[in-house]
Amino acid sequence: MFQLGKIDRGLDQTPARQIAAMFRRAITAGELAPNEQLPSEAQLIEHFGVARMTVRNALQELRNEGLVVAEHGKGTFVRPAPPVRRVASDRFARKHRTEGKAAFLAEADKVGYAPSVDRVRISRETAPSAVAERLHLPVDGEVVVRSRRYLANGRPVETAVSYIPASFAAGTKIEEPDSGPGGIYARLEDQGHTLARFTEEVGARMPTPDERRELEIGDGVPVLLVLRTAYDTQGVPVEVCDTVKVAPSYLLEYDFPAR
């Protein structure tokens, strides 16, 4: 095991913060390797001579910072740094589609991780107001909703929900789980909606409990929100895609002219 320090009761810092600081330093300095197990709560109580809650407060602070993960019944471990996906704004370039690849798979090729898609659900609903607005639909306009979850190396990294006006999707593979080669953008182009441009609205916040479960992340890990709207050559909005990404796993790249 690695060498732990002692608490200085004279300092103005609370014992819990001192304990957290020791581990934080050890982890960032690499003295504790990724996936390495921390001493158990009982061992820490013994070592520092403090109460259970004090130790747990210290560990919670580290969990909130995303430095460690606690696994029920097993122990507390140093969280491994997630692979970062650099996502460039050319990820929807036509060449990827004509090669028969959807955007997510095209990225995976570049960065080199094992991609998979999960929990595909398809339904017809009336569009939520934010979506209706962006798709220029009436408030009760109908949309095909495709929701799914993306995983890299088996770890969830993103959930996505696409909204396509029902009139553009009816009777196409967009309404089927497997949307065919090139994905739904290729199907939209089959329908004569040649894609011209995208807008993306990017924000970040803390996840809701539901999102935490779905993305299998702990406390203290923020999410990136990207709301993308796709337009065809006529300027007609043909799809809105609402994604929630595990923030530490992403770096979004954009390129734009000075005009």
Residues near its own copies, by CB under 8 A: 17, 53, 64-66, 86, 89-90, 92-94, 195-206, 208-209, 219-224, 230, 247-248, 250-259
Q: Is 69 in contact with 218 (CB distance < 8 Å)?
A: yes
Binding of residue 75 to DNA (CB under 7 A):
yes
Q: How many CA atoms lie within 13 A of 168 on its CB side?
A: 28
Place of tokens 């002692």: 6
Binding of residue 73 to DNA (CB under 7 A):
yes
CB 196, min distance to its own copies, A:
6
* CA pair distance 159, 55, nearest whole angstrom: 34
Query: With respect to DNA, which residue has the nearer C-beta, 8 or 201?
Result: 8
Q: CA-CA-CA-CA torsion for 93, 94, 99, 102, nearest 10 degrees?
A: 60
Q: Is 143 in contact with 135 (CB distance < 8 Å)?
A: yes
Using CB under 7 A as the criterion, what x/- string covers residues 11-50 for binding DNA? ---xxxx--------------------x-xxxx-----xx
43 binds, options its own copies, DNA, none, Cβ within 5 to 8 A by partner type: DNA
Closest CA to 33 of 74, 83, 80, 76: 80
Q: Decide: residue 83, CB within 10 A, 0-12 exposed, 13-18 middle, 19+ buried.
A: middle
Closest CA to 190 of 175, 204, 174, 177: 174
195 binds, options DNA, its own copies, none, Cβ within 5 to 8 A by partner type: its own copies
User: In the set 23, 26, 54, 151, which binds DNA (CB under 7 A)?
Assistant: 54
Query: With respect to its own copies, which residue has the nearer C-beta, 41 or 142?
Result: 41
253 binds, options DNA, its own copies, none, Cβ within 5 to 8 A by partner type: its own copies
Stretch that binds DNA, among 55-63, 130-138, 162-170, 206-214 (CB under 7 A): 55-63
Q: How many C-beta atoms surround the C-beta of residue 12 within 10 A?
A: 6
Q: Bridge partners of 117?
A: 150
Binding of residue 140 to DNA (CB under 7 A):
no
Residues 153-182 binding DNA (CB under 7 A) are: none
CB 220, min distance to DNA, A:
12
- List interacting residues with DNA (CB under 7 A): 14-17, 38, 40-43, 49-54, 56-57, 59, 70-76
